């Protein structure tokens, strides 16, 4: 990921916020307990979140992280949360932000078309609670349209504001544009809650590959014919490997995830 800048949010429950902050601080992580609206993104924050069901719900929000050092920090935090007994359920999510401060409408159109093309593939590696419109906090970006129609609608947007209007100015989408106006990032809200370091790392790498392809305007076209979600995933991963966006281990990880969830196929 070289010098990529990103951030994460991990929603969990079952541990008092003070205990989380203390454990992270003891491990040498610069962290503070914050309010829900806290925006001190130079340090890790432990924050309340009333949308989380379960005793002692909280979210851990990272500062702006960079490259492989950032991945290392994420894995450390996940390990501590696991040791503390942090739990997740269907009310929890894991969100990733990627830097998009220099982006204009061309990059965003490319990313949203790419996500539309592969949304079913991304669904196929998530539990049923995060697929299609099953979760109110991460709604489908397809807007009930065919991919052809959505591509045309996206192409008709000549400003980022118009693209935002297409998605009803809502932040509760699997791919959220609203974070760009607040923080200069694009947010992937699709992933189910987790404190598993492997799941977290692989999703950061997968979503960064989408962002990197979009930043370089790599062409994205509608599939010429109908494909299954699993076949779309194979195409997506193979392309990312071929372009050097992800390594074989990430491809292998997501193929195994798709096999695990095959009984819940889209």
Tokens of 250: 């990430």
- Among 91, 106, 141, identify where a domain stops: 91
Distance CA 114, CA 231 (A): 15
Per-residue confidence (pLDDT) for residue 41, from 0 to 100 = 84
Q: Tell me, what DSSP letter sits at residue 220?
A: -
Within a domain: 265: no
The three-state secondary structure class of 212 is helix
Tokens of 223: 């599939």
Distance CA 230, CA 236 (A): 10
- Among 46, 69, 91, identify where a domain stops: 91
Tokens of 237: 């991963």
| Per-chain mean pLDDT for the chain | 95
Model confidence pLDDT, tens digit, residues 85-124: 999 999 999 999 999 999 999 999 999 999 999 999 999 9
Residues 253 and 140 in one domain: yes
Model confidence pLDDT, tens digit, residues 176-215: 999 999 999 999 999 999 999 999 999 999 999 999 999 9
Residues 230 and 115 in one domain: yes
C-alpha 160, offset from chain centre: 20
Tell me if the pTM is above 0.85.
yes
Within a domain: 150: yes
Domain that residue 188 falls in: 98-260
Residues 128 and 180 in one domain: yes
- Among 91, 124, 156, identify where a domain stops: 91
Q: How many CB atoms lie within 10 A of CB 46?
A: 25
**How many domains would you assign to the chain?**
2
Tokens of 73: 């920090």
- Can you name the residues that pair with 60 across neighbouring β-strands? 10, 46
Residues 84 and 147 in one domain: no
- Can you name the residues that pair with 98 across neighbouring β-strands? 6, 186
The three-state secondary structure class of 185 is strand
Between the alpha carbon of residue 1 and those of residues 38, 65, 112, 193, 238, the distances in Å are 28, 11, 21, 23, 18
């Amino acid at each position: 990921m070289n010098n990529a800048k990103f951030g994460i949010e991990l929603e969990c429950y079952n541990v008092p916020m003070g205990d989380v902050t203390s454990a992270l601080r003891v491990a040498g992580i610069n962290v503070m307990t914050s309010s829900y609206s806290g925006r001190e993104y130079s340090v890790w924050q432990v924050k309340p979140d009333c949308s989380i069901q379960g005793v002692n719900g909280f979210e851990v929000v990272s500062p702006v992280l960079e490259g492989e050092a950032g991945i290392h920090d994420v894995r450390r935090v996940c390990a501590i949360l696991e040791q503390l007994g942090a739990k997740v359920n269907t009310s929890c999510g894991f969100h990733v932000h990627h830097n998009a401060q220099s982006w204009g409408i061309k990059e965003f159109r490319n990313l949203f078309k790419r996500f539309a093309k592969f949304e079913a593939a991304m669904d196929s590696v998530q539990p049923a609670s995060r697929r299609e419109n099953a979760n109110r906090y991460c709604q489908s970006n397809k807007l009930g349209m065919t991919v052809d129609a959505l591509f045309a609608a996206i192409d008709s947007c000549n400003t980022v504001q118009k693209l935002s209007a297409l998605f009803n100015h809502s932040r509760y989408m699997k791919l959220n544009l609203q974070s760009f106006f607040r923080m200069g990032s694009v947010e992937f809200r699709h992933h189910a809650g987790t404190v598993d370091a492997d799941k977290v790392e692989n999703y950061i790498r997968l979503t960064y590959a989408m962002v990197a392809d979009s930043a370089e305007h790599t062409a994205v076209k509608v599939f010429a014919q109908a494909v299954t979600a699993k076949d779309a995933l194979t195409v997506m991963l193979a392309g990312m490997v071929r372009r050097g966006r992800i390594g074989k281990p990430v491809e292998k990880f997501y193929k195994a995830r798709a096999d695990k969830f095959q009984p819940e196929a889209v």
